[in-house]
Amino acid sequence: MSSVLAKLLSHNGNQDRRTPKELFDELNNEFNFQLDPCTSTSKPNNLGTPHFFKYPEQDGLQEDWSKYKSVFVNPPFRDAYKWLKKAKEESEKGCTVVVLLPSKTETKWWHEFALKADEIRFVQRRVTFEGHKDPFIIGIALIIFKEQQ
C-alpha cells in the first residue's frame, strides 16, 4: 500500500474513529448490540453498549465475545485482518458480529474473511466519523457474521 493511502486510511495515525450516532442507532435498533470490544480510548463506552472492552486494560482481540450474543465492531482499520478473523471465529462460537470496515475489495482480509460473511451491506453515503472533520475517503461496508448454531 502506498504511504499516502496508508496515511489517509489511518487519518494520519488517529485510529480513534468513532461511529456516527445515527449509523450506530440504526444498526442497534436491528441487532440490539451487547458488546463493543474496542471502545473508544478517548471516550470509553461512547456507543453505550451494556458491555465494552477498553484497551489497553483489556485487549479485545484476546477476550471472549461469544457470551454477549450481539457484537458491534469498528476496529482500528490498520488491523482489519486480525479483527475480521476474530469476528468470524467468535460467530462460530455463538454470537452475531457486525464489523464496520472500509470497502477494500482488493485486500487479503476481504477475500479471506469478508467474502465468507453471511451478509455485506454497503453504506450508500460518505461517512464522517465522530472526532473527524472530513468524510472518510473510502466507502464503508458492514460485514455481518451471524451466530452459528
According to CB under 6 A, which residues from 60 to 79 bind ligand SAM? 60-61, 74-76
Round to whole Å and give the CA distance between 29 and 3: 38
Round to whole Å and give the CA distance between 88 and 127: 24
Place of cell 435498533: 29
Query: Site size for ligand SAM, by CB under 6 A?
Result: 20
DSSP letters of 57-82?
Answer: TS-TTTS--GGGSEEEE---GGGHHH
List the one residue out of 39, 59, 144, 29 whose CA is nearest residue 95: 144
Binder of ligand SAM out of 1, 7, 14, 41 (CB under 6 A)? 41
Binder of ligand SAM out of 35, 47, 71, 141 (CB under 6 A)? 47
Binder of ligand SAM out of 8, 10, 51, 55 (CB under 6 A)? 55
Strands (E), the chain: 35-36, 51-52, 70-73, 96-102, 119-122, 140-145
**In the bound complex, what is the minimum distance in angstroms from residue 129's beta carbon to ligand SAM?**
7
Query: Is residue 26 near ligand SAM by the rule CB under 6 A?
Result: no
According to CB under 6 A, which residues from 74 to 103 bind ligand SAM? 74-76
Amino acid 69 reads K
Query: Is residue 53 near ligand SAM by the rule CB under 6 A?
Result: yes
Residue span binding ligand SAM (CB under 6 A) among the ranges 1-9, 31-39, 103-111, 140-148: 31-39
Binding site for ligand SAM (CB under 6 A): 15-19, 36, 38-41, 46-47, 53, 55, 59-61, 74-76
